[in-house]
Amino acid sequence: MIVGEITIIGAVVAVAYVSVVGSVLWWMLHIPQAGGLEQQVQRVKRESERFTRILVPIQGDRVSDRLVALASQMAKFRGATMDVIYVIEVPLQLPLTASMEQQEKFAADAFARARKIADRYDVKISTRIERARQSGPAIVRYAVQSNADVVLMGDVPFENKRGTQFARSVEYVFENAPSEVILARPSREGRV
């Protein structure tokens, strides 16, 4: 008789233990949804439109080349168009229309490299040089004008006075872009 009672008590304890452990595992393995309902609806809408416009700000370095290659792969896979923008930051002492021949030549070289990379993936790109006092607002302004669905940016981390590791233009785009922002950050060994 005692053996029967122990078996029933043991079975109840075993079921309780398995249900507690199972519920903890279920909770750990199910990631909660990020954002509210409005953000989820916007995300689903963007994904259903398949990121039809990709914006890539470049600087003409190896990080920019990697970004163009990644964006080209995304554009080919999604059937998207790709805009490549180069922002010439004009110092405050000069008018925005000031001659910046060296920067314009550097931008033209960067665009030529971007076209070669995009051609490998059979992706056509449109290029544009923007002249501005700061890169961040110029990138956001162009993203709004071109209805960009995603902005693909590169960032090399550094420490600034506020303790963040993002460049000020990347911070500005993160805070103000009307679209998704994807950040590609190379390892410290991969810096240019």
Domain edges within the chain? 47-190
pLDDT for residue 63: 85
pLDDT at site 190: 47
pLDDT, residue 19, reads 92
Inter-residue contact 179 to 144 (CB < 8 Å): no
pLDDT in tens, the chain (192 residues): 455 556 788 888 889 999 998 888 888 787 666 666 777 777 777 666 667 889 999 988 888 889 999 999 988 888 888 999 999 988 888 888 888 889 999 999 999 999 999 999 999 999 999 999 888 899 999 999 998 888 988 876 665 555 445 577 888 888 888 888 888 876 655 444
The two three-digit tokens of residue 154, written as one number: 């590169």
Q: What tokens does 25 get?
A: 């595992």
Nearest to 58 by CA among 105, 119, 117, 114: 114
Please, what's the largest Cα pairwise distance for the chain?
100
Candidates 70, 54, 42, 71; CA nearest to 146 is 54
d(CA 106, CA 112): 10
Residue 48: the pLDDT is 62
Alpha helices in 30-160 (DSSP H): 37-48, 62-78, 101-120, 135-145
* CATH superfamily, region 47-190: HUPs (3.40.50.620)
The structure's pTM equals: 0.68
Q: Are 96 and 67 in contact (CB under 8 A)?
A: no
